[in-house]
Amino acid sequence: MSISTLRDQRIVVIGGSSGIGLAVAEGALAEGARVVVGSSGAANVEAAVARLGEGASGAVANVRDEVSVAAFFEGVGAFDHLVFTAGDWGANFGGGLVAEMDLAASSAGFTVRFWGALIAVKHAQGRISTAGSITLTDGVLAHRPQKGMALATAMAGAIEHLTRALAVDLAPLRVNAVCPGLADRSVEANARGPACADDGAPARATRRRAGGSGAGLPLSDAGRLHDRPGAGGGRRADAGVKARRAGEFPGVET
């Protein structure tokens, strides 16, 4: 029988109203944790809390607005673990070919995934338990670049390097980055209909990316939202999940 490590702990999931973040929230609740969901849309937060049920609460946390994030964490108070899965899958997600790239528009792609993550970490300081952790997310493009996806590849890599630095800066707090591959969200899309996902991404974006950033990936191996890596590591299939742990980073002791 497995031993729960999350019982009675408090987990904050930014981007937890849908997709991977919602699956994380559901998994944490199943292990006895209490979950606080943060997302940019009040309606999405309310729907997620209703779906999650007992042990879940939520509030608006717009990571494009530092004041909103500061207010969110002020309301949350003390907690044990922060998980950041918020994403922005707009038209300039990949950036396109460099010769045709609109740099002004493309720079906005870093607003949620990179700057949003850093803002969340900043305002979580002093509230996370010393035995707690921070988990960020990047993406398989950091390791398998695709044509026309230079910006997204750079952003994913930046998150991994940010994680390395934060693991040193915030020690002994554990800082991790999880690198998801292509995720099969068909079950969620069917359940939610045309509703938005991941702070504004239409459910159809998953199908579109299967022919874009997911091109060449073994779709039969696409991860499902509730897949879990094995103990002490992660799935290393190209379309699976790879975990970067603080113990792997130079200068950080486990």
Domains and CATH numbers, the chain: 10-248 (3.40.50.720)
> pLDDT category, 4, cuts 50, 70, 90?
low
Length of the chain in residues, anyone? Answer: 254
User: Can you say how many angstroms the Cα of residue 129 is from the centroid of all Cα atoms in its chain?
Assistant: 20
Check whether 141 has a pLDDT greater than 50: yes
- Give residue 166's identity as a one-letter amino acid code: L
> In this predicted structure, what is the pLDDT of residue 164?
94
Tens-digit pLDDT profile for residues 202-220? 333 333 343 444 444 433 4
> pLDDT category, 107, cuts 50, 70, 90?
confident
241 vs 203: CA distance, rounded Å: 21
Specify the pTM: 0.74
Return the structure tokens found at 40. Answer: 């940019």
Report the pLDDT averaged over residues 78-85: 97
Return the structure tokens found at 207. Answer: 């199908």
Q: Percentage of the chain with pLDDT > 70?
A: 67
Return the structure tokens found at 228. Answer: 């879990």
Closest of 97, 144, 129, 92 to residue 113, by C-alpha: 92
In this predicted structure, which of 3-7, 10-14, 80-84 has the lowest mean pLDDT? Answer: 3-7
Closest of 163, 169, 184, 186 to residue 245, by C-alpha: 163
210 vs 184: CA distance, rounded Å: 10
The 3-class secondary structure across the chain, one letter per residue, is CCCCCCCCCEEEEECCCCHHHHHHHHHHHHCCCEEEEEECCHHHHHHHHHHHCCCEEEEECCCCCHHHHHHHHHHHCCEEEEEECCCCCCCCCCCCCHHHCCHHHHHHHHHHHHHHHHHHHHHHCCCEEEEEEEEEECCHHHCCCCCCCHHHHHHHHHHHHHHHHHHHHCCCCEEEEEEECCEECHHHHHHHCCCEECCCEECCHHHHHCCCCCCCCCHHHCEECCCCCCCCCCCCCCCCEEEECHHHCCCCCC
Return the structure tokens found at 13. Answer: 């999931």
